[in-house]
Amino acid sequence: MNYFSSNFKLGILGGGQLGKMMLYDTRKFDIYTCVLDPSADAPSRLACDEFTIGDLLDYDTVINFGKNVDVLTFEIENVNVDALETLEKQGVKVFPSSKTLRTIQNKATQKLFYRDHDIPTADFSRFAYTSEIDEAVDNGGLSYPFVWKSARFGYDGTGVKVVRTISDLTDLPNVECITEKLIPFKNELAVIVARNAQGEVKTYPVVEMEFHPEANQVEYVICPARIPDTIAKKAESVALKVAAEFKHVGLLAVEMFQTENDDIIVNEVAPRPHNSGHYSIEASYTSQFEQQIRCILGLPLGNTESKVAGVMVNLVGAENHTGNVVYKNIENILAMDGVTPHIYGKKQTRPFRKMGHVTIVNKDIAVARKIAEEVKRTIEVISE
C-alpha cells in the first residue's frame, strides 16, 4: 500500500489537540487525512485535508465517515464502538480495534480485564449506580477511604473522586461506577507501548507524573522518571504484558502506581497518544504522534529513545477565568533556554481546561525540572 502522496485516506475520529499533533506528522509524510469532530472550531480543522462536523457517538455519522477512508483511528475514547465494529466487518481497517476500545471505554470492564489476565491492579467493586454505594458501606462490604470512578466518560480529573466520608458522595452523579481501594504510592508512572499490526513492539522510557492536588490533572511529566532501574524495568514489563493481552495495535499509554512496597500496579490505560508522551515531540528521536501513524499503518517503528531529558508542563485555564483566551507572559517563557510552548488552538478558556503544553529539554533532568517550575510560575492562561 502506498500511503504517501497517494489516494490513500486516513480517518481520525476526534479533532482535538491529539489529532492536531498527529496531523503535524501526516503533513510531514503527505498522508491524506479526514477528521470528524462535533465542533466547527476543533483544533484539527486547519491541518487536515477534509474536515467533517458530526457527533462521534452517533452510529450513522461514524459509519458514513468511516466508509470513505482506508484506515480509521481515534484520538478520543468516547466514540460509537458499534459503528467501528460494523466498519471492521465491511473491510475498513480500524486501529486500535473496536474490541480493545469496547473493553477500555468502560472502567468496570477494563478492571475486569486486568483481573482476568493476571495484571496487577487495585482491588475494586462495581456498582450499577452510585446510590448503591451507601448500602455497601453500611453492610461493611466497603470502607472509607476509597476512590470513586464513573465507569464511562471520565477524562482529565472529571469522573474521579477520593471519597473519605459519606458527604463526599452527595454531589456525585448517579451513574454506573467502580470504587477502588485507595493505594498509598510513592510515584505515578506511565509507559507508552507502541505496537504495529505485524507485532513489532517498542516502549518509550518510563515517565513520572506529578499531579495538581485539586484538579486531579497532570502538572508535570518528567522523562526519564527519577526511579531506580529495577523499578523502571518492572514498570516496562507490566506495560508490555498489558499491550500483549489486548493484542493492541497503536499506542497504549499505561498509567501505573509504584506502591510503598515498590510493587507496580496498573491504574488505567489510554489506547491513543497521551499527555504522558507529549514531551517526545522535542525530546525523543520519534515523537509519540509519528509513532502512532507508523503503528496503525504497519510501518517499521521509530526509535523511542530520548535525545535529551524532557519535562512537560500542562497549560490549563486559570481559575476564575472564562472567555476569550490570552497567554500572559508567553514571550517570557520563549526567552528561556530549551522551552517550547504548544498552543492547541482553543479560543475559549475556562478553569482547568487543557489549552496547551510546554516542553522543557535539558541534558540535566534536575535543571529541566527547575525551569519547568519557572515556566509554571510565569505563564498564565487567562481570559480577556
**Is residue 350 classed exposed, middle or buried when 0-12, 13-18 and 19+ CB atoms within 10 A define those classes?**
middle
298 three-state secondary structure: coil
Kindly list the strands in the beta sheet with 93-94, ordered across the sheet, starting from the edge strand earlier in the chain.
50-53, 32-37, 9-13, 71-74, 93-94
Q: Is 214 annotated as a binding residue?
A: no
- Domain shared by 165 and 31, yes or no: no
User: DSSP characters for 139-196?
Assistant: TTSS-SSEEEEESSS-BTTBTEEEE-SGGGGTTS--SSEEEEE---EEEEEEEEEEE-
- Domain shared by 135 and 88, yes or no: no
- Domain shared by 192 and 288, yes or no: yes
Q: Is 89 annotated as a binding residue?
A: no
In the chain, the largest separation of any two C-alpha atoms, in whole Å, equals 64
Q: Is 328 annotated as a binding residue?
A: no
Q: Is 247 annotated as a binding residue?
A: no
pLDDT at 156: 61
In-domain check, residue 176: yes
Q: Is 188 annotated as a binding residue?
A: yes
- Domain shared by 30 and 136, yes or no: no
Q: Is 268 annotated as a binding residue?
A: yes
pLDDT at 215: 66
Q: Is 107 annotated as a binding residue?
A: yes
- Domain shared by 375 and 299, yes or no: yes
- Domain shared by 144 and 208, yes or no: no
- Residue 168: give its domain's CATH number: 3.30.1490.20
Domain count within the chain: 3
- DSSP state letter for 336: S
- Domain shared by 139 and 251, yes or no: no
User: Pairing state of beta strands 264-270 and 339-343?
Assistant: unpaired
> What is the distance between the alpha carbons of residues 101 and 372, in angstroms, rounded to a whole number?
34
What are the respective helix, strand and coil percentages of the chain, to the nearest 5?
30, 30, 40
pLDDT, averaged in runs of 10, over the chain (384 residues): 96 98 98 98 96 98 98 97 98 97 96 98 95 91 93 78 90 94 93 96 97 77 97 98 97 97 96 97 98 97 98 95 98 98 96 96 97 97 96
User: Pairing state of beta strands 339-343 and 9-13?
Assistant: unpaired
- Domain shared by 162 and 208, yes or no: no
Q: Is 183 annotated as a binding residue?
A: yes
In-domain check, residue 110: no
> What is the distance between the alpha carbons of residues 151 and 172, in angstroms, rounded to a whole number?
13
- Residue 341: give its domain's CATH number: 3.30.470.20
pLDDT at 159: 87
- Domain shared by 145 and 293, yes or no: no
- Domain shared by 131 and 173, yes or no: yes
Domain that holds residue 237: 185-383
Length of the chain: 384
